[in-house]
Structure 1
Amino acid sequence: MSRGRFASYVADNQAAGRLVVQPRMGFATTEQMRGGLHAVRAARATTAGTLTLDSFTRVGDHANAARALVHGHDLNGYPLVAHGAVMTRAMLEDIVADDFPVQVRHGSALPLGIFHALLDAGLDATEGGPVSYCLPYSRVPLRSAIDEWAACCELLATVGDDGRGAHLESFAGCMLGQLTPPSLLVALAILEGLFFRRHGVRSMSLSFAQQTNPGQDLDALLALRQLATEFLPDCDTHLVVYTFMGLFPRTPAGAAAILAESVRLAVAGGAARLIVKTSAEAFRIPTVAENVAALEFAAVHAAGCARPTRPSFAPTDSPAYAEARLLVEAVLDLHPEPGTALATAFGTGLLDVPFCLHPENANLARSRVDPDGTLRWTRTGRMPLRPATGHAPDLGSAELIDMLAHNQRRFDAVTTEPTAPALSPAR
């Protein structure tokens, strides 16, 4: 098996019992971006770097991205295509190495130009997916996104000789995850993984975003791990956890506590990577120093967590496993080609993301957060699932806002920041 740089680094550290921690960081100029990556590499943690792209690049508006650079206007990320391969290679020189790979994060429903640019710049890892970067972030027709992502996967598959030379992370375990019951996130991650595999990619990661109940989160992560072994046995696969992506705690103690809980989830669930958030998330875009502090904090807590050799998991006792497997099998029964199956599933409502306003999402399903943080279905639309309760009335705006703030309230009630043993430098 010939892994690329990114996948090799993650696999080697997972085998050694080290959690790879990663920020979401992107700056407009090559000088700013180089400085940010240098700081992440120097952090006292086992880190991977990130190039998060700007909004113009995400929607293919490279002319406006280039114009902003010429006029010195700030951007909310790195304009990879506008900078071009030569400038990006120079920016990455003496930073990217076997012990510090970099992943491109972009948010684009139609990213073929981005994929060409990242490969031309010498990078071998990115993320997204035909559903997870279409439904939440765009009005692009799902079939168009599926076709473009098929071309993107086939381009990545040309790196190396067995589809493992470049790495692709499915974002499906994060899409609208605050109010999407975990079984649907798990099912979508597996379905995007099958799509990647069908189009030649054999090195992939499957994501899951921390939600509102730690026990339910762990069950979902272990279900994702199990289903990956069943449906993607010939792929080089690892799991990645995201620190909570909804309304973030506003207090320093609350922000530290939710980050520490996501670390425990990642370690207990056998994840190889964690995408962190910082103490500034509730207020503004974090600085480089705040990102480094979050990375080092996460590394300290990961080092102090008991690490199971193989998390115990009984599929018959797992609500997430049962529902996710049912959804995956129902979609695969629609068509042998995963892209066509996904398009048909959303077209018929067999897959339905609650509160997602994309025109091709049925938006009949609904969910709620119980007082203990359990996220459950109240209405499942045309999906082959049974809601936990009978018909429930639609949520009012006040109740919806209250549920979205569940984690913010829960963690802002924490008064003391968690502590852990001192960290030794990883490099």
Structure 2
Amino acid sequence: MNAAVPSAPAGDGREERPRRAGPREHVAAAVGLLDRPLTSYYLVLGCSIMLLALGLTMVLSASLVQQIQATGSAYTLFQKQAMWMAIGLPLMWLASRLPVRTFRAFAYPLLLLSIVALGLVLVPGLGHSAGGATRWISLGPLLVQPSEPAKLALVLWGADLLARKERLGQLNEWRPLLVPLLPGAGMLVLMVMLGSDLGTTLVLLTIFLALLWVVGAPGRLFVGMAGLVCLLVAILIIVEPYRLQRLTGYLDPSQNQYTTNYQGTQGQLAIASGGWLGTGLGEGRAKWDFLPHAETDFIFAIIGEELGLVGTLVVLSLFGLLAYAGLRIARRVRDPFTRLAAAGATAWVVVQAIVNIGAVIGVLPITGIPLPLVSYGGSALIPTLIALGMLLAFAKREPGARQALAARGPGPVARALSWLGLARRQ
């Protein structure tokens, strides 16, 4: 008969080892982090900074060969992009500190300014055309694309308009819901369409549909508007021969690989040659005059070639986290304008990223829109940074966010000002 094993006497100095946390505990801890008041704030800020850093690095890598040939310096576009970032980041910081009423005050002036600027694009001598589209205003050495601020204008104006109607209880019928939202959005879309810019037209229509969805438009009305958008896009494709060629090339990529399908084919070859870990930063071959517009529309292909599948998954993860943060803000805030503007801005950035990446990997037709925060171009970068700064301002209005910020203490900017003796005395 086996004797019972005696238990260790108390106080013998031996202690039980702590039990290792299992997968469930790790998942619970991760979910707990996502439930914190400032999660949205730090996700928007962190994803934006990482995408900006990656974008600046890849702009240098993607453009150095072409710029050495054109200007003798590999850093020409890199320096310009860094300059745009130096302008956009302070604007992002300023937007993150503005009250909601300031964004609402800017809505109507920005909409009017966008319509005027889009009209100037169509003026002979001022408008600049490239790639079949007239998108830019030529201001000496600078090319400004007014359709980019128009996205921000539609977000602010549409959110303000619907928030006012919701407060007055005027969203029960389709007429007050669509008027004047539909004519205003239609004016912006028409101005962009006259410049043959299908990519920006898609983004503006996406913002319009996102606002209708968040405000709770009836299902029939939303489906009808979505069908109208699809019909409009089909008409835009049919009336322009080069767009129709892109569509047929997308449907049959094996044809015309050296003409209309050349850019898409080279982009997919670049991604395929990257493998798991890529060829190495700066070691890609597609930028050696094989892939057109490598630093703008097809910078994702350079990321796939030089950083491999891992690099592309990092980019997708950052945009996925940005989408989660933006929708979290829209779900948690109480103010109707804040909810609508957050959803509209998130739809703008995320859908534009999806359309760009989808075109590069061949699951969507090529539309010629840049990858937000990553592609070269100041006209797209600055409005996007302002929109992200607006999301940061809205994130501070989530439940418990103000208390968490107050408990955190002064930020680095406030500390720097205090060191200089410029901080406001309490």
After TM superposition, the score normalised by the length of structure 2 is: 0.29
TM-score under structure 1 length normalisation: 0.29
Rg larger in 1 or in 2? 2
Larger relative helix fraction: 2
